[in-house]
Structure 1
Amino acid sequence: MLRRILLAALSVLAGCGHPTGVMTPVALTANTPKTSQVEMLVATTRQPSANPATLFNGERSPKPYLTDIAISIPPKRAAGTVQWPEKLPPNPATDFAVTRVEQLETRAEGRAWFQQHLVDGHALVFIHGFNNTYEDSVFRLAQIVHDSGMKATPVLFTWPSRAKLTAYEYDKESTNYSRTALEQALRILAQDPSVKDITILAHSMGTWLAMESLRQMGIRDGHVNPKIRDVILASPDIDIQVFAKQFGEMGTPRPKFTIFVSQDDRALAVSSFITGKVSRLGAIDPSKEPYRSRLEAAGITAIDLTKVNTGDKLNHGKFAESPEIVQLIGQRLMTGQPLTDSNITLGEGVAAVVGGTVQTVGKVAGTAVAAPLTIVGQPLPAAAKPVEVEDTLRADPQSKPLTQ
């Protein structure tokens, strides 16, 4: 009963949604105002819907599919937002609109697409979270790419989500279903000699999928492919103890990890309740022990977005909906620039959004959060006292209830 109450509360907070069936391409005419174009390669383990307006549904496919998609973004809009159409077909002058959809039948066609669209040798792989349709993830990545100003080729990996608040367990199992497909996609990208480096950006439940795929790669090869240099986990919906195991079992060397956390994340509060009141990684306070020293020991950067205000009533999508934060992703994190006191050059806007002065931001981002927990078998600095994962997490505070 309590679970139903919590899900009902989330449903009210989430709002009424938006029109569906926006994947049918629309033509840009001579009268269309100048728009921005985002082109992406979409890999999915979803089942084809046999409907060009949706392309893929939330069920699981026995084989992955590749699709070339182009999205038009209107000229007058607020950064951090997706302009869903009020009616169909979309109006490119005011709405996000799909302008091209082309199914790629072979892996060779996928490689050819990537060769034609490669930007400076950089690739971004985005993995969406819980309760997302195919079109949700396409438009969200288009918004992130456009608003961040990143110089990279966008690749979307979209897994089978039924896009229902009551389908949490189904969605979680769908991430497990998709982890080998994501691992293979990352391997194919890394094998391309023209690809210099890969950044993974994963959100919410998609962070579980990202960690599981990297863990599998690490177990097979002894380490993650060195071209996968940066992993950004936004609002990670992962049990903290499990994250410690995943992190340790990747082997070494590992990619550079950055996590975005927020203690007022209502979606993660519900996830914590559903999963046995175990705190989620995305809801920790990285300035508190045991997290501060453990994160620092593992070299994981954490950026606390608790003070960031966006239009998201769940406080779960701040990484993409704050103009300053999404630019931080594209302009600094994807280029491998660490956020430390000595070299941080964030503008006043980012400093104010995160909360405090630039020095405070650098201190929190660069050192306050580094290694989520003590990883079994991983040596700690000489000054650190060895503590087993289980002992470390006994001090783990429970997630805040939804009402807080």
Structure 2
Amino acid sequence: MKASALPRLLRCLVLAGAVLLGPAVLPGGASAAEALSIGEVELAIRDRLEAGDAAGAADLVRDQLDATDDPRLQEALLDLLADLARKSGDWRLAADALVALADALGEHQPPPGDRAWLYARAGAALVSAGAPGEAIDQYRQGLLIAVEAGLEQVRDRILTALAALSADAPDDETRAGAKALADEFAVASSKIAVETQGRDITTLQDKGYAQVDIYYATDRAHDDTSLPGSFYGGGRGDLEYGTARVSIPLNHKAGQIEQASIFSFTFREDPKHHIVLQSVTPAESPKVFEAMRGQLKRTGSKEAFVFVHGFNVTFADAAKRTAQIAYDMEFDGIPFLFSWPSRGNAYSYITDTASVRQSGRKLVTVLKRIVAESGATRIHLIAHSMGNRAMTDALELLAVENRGKPPLFEQVLFTAPDLDAGLFQEMLKTIRPIAARTTLYASNNDWALAISRQLHGDSPRAGQGGKEIIAMSDVDSVEMSALGADMLAHSYFANDPSALTDILSLFWRDAPPEHRCGMEAEKGDHGRYWQFDPAKCDGNAMLMALRLVRHAGARTLAEARDLIESRLDPETLKSIDTKRLELALAKLYAN
């Protein structure tokens, strides 16, 4: 089967697999017989695709469409049919399927970007089918949605297509219609540009979500650029900069990445309930750095953080994590993602290992430019899992170049590093002077690192905790085994409000461990380390309080106390342990 057809087919087959839970729990009332029939047709579709017969595969999908009246199955099948029709060159069928899917989704209030992109794709398919006049109608539908929802990327793509039609359409009527539609939405487009200029975190109460703008650099190759979630794939490409917009639901819980899940039978992302990557916009690097400087000028901040993700992470997932960290900390500086070409699946460990080391060289260039061109004077670095390989490679080279000079970075956080423990310690001897403070977050319950250790001949990993945790005199080693909200206990650094509170304490006040809540000194096999106990630190309350006093610039504990009592409503104050909160703040302000 061709790789590009697999995701769409899998969406259909997920519903088929739901029969294992019993007919009563199938979404939309689909019967077991209907679900199984999709599973039975899979082999026939795969055989025809492997034989290069996309048209025959499309015929099978159409037969399946006729056999079911379940709306969700129909939507998944229409999605697959559009892709198969495109592969077979049947652009009319592709357009019809895309329009039918967009119309069907309108009944479920999906993310507006989904429907806008579908209408835009339908318009493009109609142009390819030799029906440019009909394409204009679909472009209009897409523009209406894009302008209302403030989706600049979709809007610009459609306006570009209309400009091409107005110049190259085969008849005067189509050329005039394309130009008229483009002119009609030109004013609305200007309005969007004015409203969104300089927006970093924007709360849209009427839509039920907030929007976070992040900056990025990546050496991933482009994949399906028609959709934000698949804009970049797992292949290697040239270094590219840009911006991305991520929506965060207003009912978001700090530390969580709310997402659609087959276990809850939510098959489509909904920004009211899920964190969604809404747009990806590549740009020339000078423009990106100019925008970063503009943001810092508007907010008055001098900070930036750079996040480097780990193994088995897609670009979309990394963008969501970067936005979540910025949103949960109410970070008013620059959130920046460096995304290396991880394949984004659990079976590509060796491939990811090769990719991340190559990307480390490119990260050197990115970090140099952030230091020189972003306008930020307090730059923090966060690397996770295998991403620490790129980070340590880059920092070792930068440290050699910067020898004898002041540190380039404020806080450098190595979280769950999937790196040989001995090599990590040797590299830190060179790296350490490049940062004002260096912190290692490790865990003895990190299942992912335990597997990595087995793959590396039982060599200890730098991110493994317990009594064997790495301990060095000028590195703060923090044992986080008490955390681990995710299934692999591997993303604890951002999955728990207590951990986020610890990071915010570092970013704000450069607080040493003894002045941060939940920290207790312990003696390990290699020296002193810090044991983190979340029970001694009310994570949600402390995170809320830190965000408040940090933004208000409270300089003393008394100012912080007065601020909390005056700004928080009585019901919120009743719900938190104010004594524990005051003790934690007193510890922090003692720094």
| Higher helix content, 1 or 2 | 2
CA positional deviation for 1:337: 2.2
189-198 or 254-263, which moves further after superposition? 189-198
Q: Which residue of 2 aligns with 1:244?
A: 425
Q: CA distance change for structure 1 residues 368 and 33 in 2, over 3 Å: closer, same or farther? A: farther
CA positional deviation for 1:221: 3.7
User: Which structure has the larger Rg?
Assistant: 2
1:108 and 2:286 are equivalent in the alignment: yes
1:6-17 alignment, distance < 5 Å: none
CA positional deviation for 1:224: 7.9
Q: CA distance change for structure 1 residues 223 and 90 in 2, over 3 Å: closer, same or farther? A: farther
Distance 2:481 2:274 in 1: 30
CA positional deviation for 1:336: 4.5
Q: Between Structure 1 and Structure 2, how many residues are aligned?
A: 325
Distance 1:201 1:160 in 2: 18
Aligned to 2:271, the other structure's residue is in SS state coil
Contact 1:127 1:157 in 2 (8 A): yes
Match of 2:453 among 258, 261, 272: 272
Structure 2's unaligned 5+ residue stretches are 1-16, 18-75, 77-109, 115-145, 151-203, 531-591
Distance 1:65 1:23 in 2: 27
Match of 2:511 among 317, 338, 357: 338
TM-score, normalization by structure 2: 0.51
Match of 2:214 among 36, 40, 47: 40
Distance 1:160 1:138 in 2: 13
CA positional deviation for 1:56: 0.6
What amino acid maps onto 1:335 in structure 2? Answer: W
1:58 and 2:234 are equivalent in the alignment: yes
Contact 1:147 1:327 in 2 (8 A): no
Q: Which residue of 2 aligns with 1:320?
A: 494
CA positional deviation for 1:231: 0.6
Contact 1:261 1:303 in 2 (8 A): yes
What is the CA deviation profile of residues 363-385 of structure 1, one whole-angstrom value per residue up to 9, with x for unaligned ones? 259x8339xxxxxxxxxxxxxxx
What is the CA deviation profile of residues 304-355 of structure 1, one whole-angstrom value per residue up to 9, with x for unaligned ones? 1111251x121111111111111321x21122522343x33x3xxxx3xxxx
CA positional deviation for 1:37: 1.9
> RMSD of aligned C-alpha atoms?
2.8
Distance 1:272 1:72 in 2: 36
1:225-240 alignment, distance < 5 Å: 226-240=407-421
Q: CA distance change for structure 1 residues 251 and 89 in 2, over 3 Å: closer, same or farther? A: closer
1:13-28 alignment, distance < 5 Å: 25=113, 28=149
Distance 2:408 2:448 in 1: 32
Match of 1:203 among 384, 387, 392: 384
Distance 1:273 1:72 in 2: 38
What amino acid maps onto 1:282 in structure 2? Answer: G
Distance 2:320 2:434 in 1: 34
CA positional deviation for 1:192: 2.8
What amino acid maps onto 2:449 in structure 1? Answer: L
Q: Which residue of 1 aligns with 2:529?
A: 369
Q: CA distance change for structure 1 residues 24 and 190 in 2, over 3 Å: closer, same or farther? A: farther
Q: CA distance change for structure 1 residues 224 and 274 in 2, over 3 Å: closer, same or farther? A: farther
Q: CA distance change for structure 1 residues 303 and 39 in 2, over 3 Å: closer, same or farther? A: same
Distance 1:128 1:99 in 2: 19
CA positional deviation for 1:194: 2.6
1:3-402 alignment, distance < 5 Å: 25=113, 28=149, 32-53=206-227, 54-61=230-237, 63-85=238-260, 90-104=269-283, 106-118=284-296, 119=299, 120-192=301-373, 194-222=375-403, 226-250=407-431, 252-285=433-466, 287=467, 291-292=470-471, 295=472, 297=473, 299-310=474-485, 312-329=486-503, 331-341=504-514, 343-344=515-516, 346=517, 351=518, 361-364=519-522, 368-369=528-529
CA positional deviation for 1:89: 5.8
What is the CA deviation profile of residues 119-174 of structure 1, one whole-angstrom value per residue up to 9, with x for unaligned ones? 51101000000001111101111111112333321000000011122211111111
Distance 1:125 1:91 in 2: 27
Q: Which residue of 2 aligns with 1:357?
A: none
CA positional deviation for 1:24: 9.3
Distance 2:490 2:268 in 1: 29
Distance 2:405 2:496 in 1: 31
Distance 1:194 1:210 in 2: 21
TM-score, normalization by structure 1: 0.73
Aligned to 1:113, the other structure's residue is in SS state helix
CA positional deviation for 1:88: 6.9
Aligned to 2:217, the other structure's residue is in SS state strand
What is the CA deviation profile of residues 19-67 of structure 1, one whole-angstrom value per residue up to 9, with x for unaligned ones? 9xx9994653888434222110111010011432211100111x21112
150-159 or 251-260, which moves further after superposition? 251-260
CA positional deviation for 1:223: 6.1
What amino acid maps onto 1:163 in structure 2? Answer: G
Contact 2:412 2:435 in 1 (8 A): no
Distance 2:113 2:279 in 1: 5
Instruction: Give the number of the structure with larger relative contact order, counting CA–CA contacts within 8 Å between residues 6 or more apart.
Output: 1
Contact 2:214 2:243 in 1 (8 A): yes
What amino acid maps onto 2:409 in structure 1? Answer: I
